Amino acid sequence: MQFSDFSLDRRLLQSLAHQGIDTPTPIQEVAIPVALAGKDLMASSQTGSGKTLAFLLPALQRIISTKALSKQDPRVLILLPTRELANQVYAELRSLVANTQYSAVSILGGENFNDQAKALARNPHFIVATPGRLADHLSQRHLFLNGLELLILDEADRMLDLGFAEQLRAINAAADHRRRQTLMFSATLAHEQVQELAGELLKEPRHVAIGASNQANPDIQQRLYLADHLTHKEALLEALLNQSTFQQAIVFTATREDSERIATLVNQWGHSAIGLSGELAQSKRNQIMDDFARGYNKVLVTTDVASRGLDLTNVSLVINFDMPKFAEEYIHRIGRTGRAGAKGDAISLVGPKDWRAFERIEAFLGHEIERATIEGLTAKFTGLAPERKTSAKRPTNKANATKRKASNTKQQKPANRDKRFMTAVDVGDAPMRRKPAKPIDLDNDDE
């Protein structure tokens, strides 16, 4: 199948051809026809499967081929959980609308609120936003969604995990549910909150699932190196970076402090590295990601802020310096490599503190991850044994000897011995009236 089989506008096909894209991925092949037919859609697919185009192309085709419901309201709203992912989708959208008369803006937390209000006043056709900041603009009446034609939620499970349920419901209430089409993409359709939200937002949705949520990309080779302690992990990391012939690498850590420290070490080892974390200002995060995407740095050391959605085609190596708390996040982390049919390596450094999380990940995957060693850096740690059902300590030899001696003397217990017991007590909304509102000054937030 080719994209031309979808009967897309020639300008969209030309834009795809310019990017060297002609064959749809499995998620695009099944999702695009449903979306083009105007049906609500609930879809899941593996990370790196190309779902961004699966919703952008139908959105653009709808705007190009149909008359707007409103001349003032946005026609398409795309919601995403993080600013990094939103920036990436926005960049891809802009490349597609470059040869059209349609406009797009991004509305993200951490950026100037007044500038965003001015951009919304120009009545853009497309809005790419994070839920918290868009809800703020809705409350200030800087935009209205009565004429919204298409609502798209990408990484819906992540948005709910980040606590955006209230904002998503407010956005849904502000849009005309009867005339609106809704597309929801989630890493897993079994997420309880996702199912609940889908029941509120979608109308008789079609369900599409490509690949199980616990299946890693087969183009990614996964390996495990055991470590005794932090210093051992650092030695393994240095050896792996020195031995690997990678284009670019992402190293995932648990905290911002770890990201900064490891980035400093990697630079000392002779690799150009930079650290990224959610606590940085948005402008700084944008600069870091842009520099890395352009190849100015060979190694990105980051927290889970970069684990989802980012399409960095030159990343051929992912290293989990610290294991993620949730098994699902492991799939998203390693999915930063092996994209668009390329091969990738995913390496995990597992110490005693990581072992329980690693066991959950293997159980989630349903198979063991290949164990590997580096000569001279083999760990003494071999993995923790399963927890005993009882916490009672094994009797010592001295205790056993005392027990045997007592048994041999056959001492009689008093018949009238008191038995003592110890008990323990565990202690429908009306449409908003359009009123012009002056932009207000708010501090930059991080929603």
Q: Rounded to the nearest 5 degrees, what angle is found at the Cα of 15, between the Cα atoms of 12 and 17?
A: 110
pLDDT value at position 276? 86
How distant, in Å, are the alpha carbons of 218, 242, 336 from that of 47? 12, 28, 8
| DSSP-based three-state secondary structure for 59 | helix
Percent of the chain surpassing pLDDT 70: 81
Q: CA 437 to CA 64: how far, in whole Å?
A: 30
Which of these ranges, 79-93, 222-236, 378-392, 411-425, has the smallest mean pLDDT? 411-425
Name the one residue in this structure whose structure tokens are 């798209």. Answer: 152
Q: CA 117 to CA 137: how far, in whole Å?
A: 7
Residue 280 is encoded by which pair of tokens? 């940085």
pLDDT at 323 over 50: yes
Q: Collect all residues with Cβ–Cβ distance below 8 Å to 403 and sequence separation of at least 6.
A: 395
- Residues 253 and 401 sit within 8 Å (Cβ to Cβ): no
pLDDT at 121 over 60: yes
User: Pick the residue with more confidence: 206 or 286?
Assistant: 206
129: amino acid identity, one letter: A
Q: Collect all residues with Cβ–Cβ distance below 8 Å to 420 and sequence separation of at least 6.
A: none
pLDDT at 106 over 60: yes
How distant, in Å, are the alpha carbons of 106, 225, 252, 261, 352 from that of 228? 46, 10, 19, 19, 7
Residue 190 is encoded by which pair of tokens? 């079994």
Give the domains, in start order, of the chain with CATH numbers: 3-210 (3.40.50.300), 220-371 (3.40.50.300)
Q: CA 351 to CA 103: how far, in whole Å?
A: 50
pLDDT value at position 367? 87
pLDDT value at position 309? 54
Residue 241 is encoded by which pair of tokens? 């970076």
pLDDT band at residue 17 under the 50/70/90 scheme: confident
pLDDT value at position 73? 93
309-320: average pLDDT: 81
Element (H, E) at 126: strand 126-129
pLDDT at 432 over 50: no
Name the one residue in this structure whose structure tokens are 């970076």. Answer: 241
pLDDT band at residue 416 under the 50/70/90 scheme: very low
Q: Collect all residues with Cβ–Cβ distance below 8 Å to 85 and sequence separation of at least 6.
A: 154, 155, 308, 309, 310
Q: CA 182 to CA 257: how far, in whole Å?
A: 40
Which of these ranges, 112-121, 223-232, 285-294, 381-390, has the smallest mean pLDDT? 381-390
pLDDT value at position 425? 31
Sheet holding 150-153, edge to edge: 104-107, 126-129, 76-79, 150-153, 181-185, 41-45, 206-210
- Residues 372 and 342 sit within 8 Å (Cβ to Cβ): no
Give the tens place of pLDDT for each residue, 337-366: 877 667 889 999 999 999 999 998 988 888
Say if residue 431 is exposed, middle or buried (CB neighbours under 10 Å; 0-12, 13-18, 19+). Answer: exposed
Give the tens place of pLDDT for each residue, 18-72: 888 888 988 899 999 999 999 999 988 766 678 899 999 999 999 999 999 888 8
Nearest to 51 by CA among 145, 168, 181, 156: 156
Torsional class of 260: left (φ above 0), alpha (ψ -120 to 50), beta (otherwise): alpha
Name the one residue in this structure whose structure tokens are 């005794």. Answer: 228
- Residues 132 and 109 sit within 8 Å (Cβ to Cβ): yes
How distant, in Å, are the alpha carbons of 29, 157, 231, 393 from that of 39? 15, 21, 54, 62
- Residues 316 and 249 sit within 8 Å (Cβ to Cβ): yes
pLDDT at 427 over 90: no
Q: Mind giving me the DSSP string for 142-159?
A: S---TT--EEEESSHHHH
- Residues 213 and 365 sit within 8 Å (Cβ to Cβ): no
pLDDT band at residue 130 under the 50/70/90 scheme: very high
Furthest-apart CA atoms within the chain: distance in Å: 100
Sheet holding 248-252, edge to edge: 273-276, 299-302, 248-252, 315-320, 344-350, 220-226, 370-371
Angle between helices 26-36 and 51-65 (to 10 degrees): 30
Q: What is the mean pLDDT of the chain?
A: 82
Give the tens place of pLDDT for each residue, 384-406: 755 444 444 444 444 444 444 44
71-89: average pLDDT: 91
Q: Collect all residues with Cβ–Cβ distance below 8 Å to 130 and sequence separation of at least 6.
A: 79, 80, 81, 82, 83, 86, 107, 108, 109, 447
Element (H, E) at 251: strand 248-252
Percent of the chain surpassing pLDDT 90: 45
- Residues 81 and 159 sit within 8 Å (Cβ to Cβ): yes
| DSSP-based three-state secondary structure for 49 | coil
Give the tens place of pLDDT for each residue, 267-276: 999 999 999 8
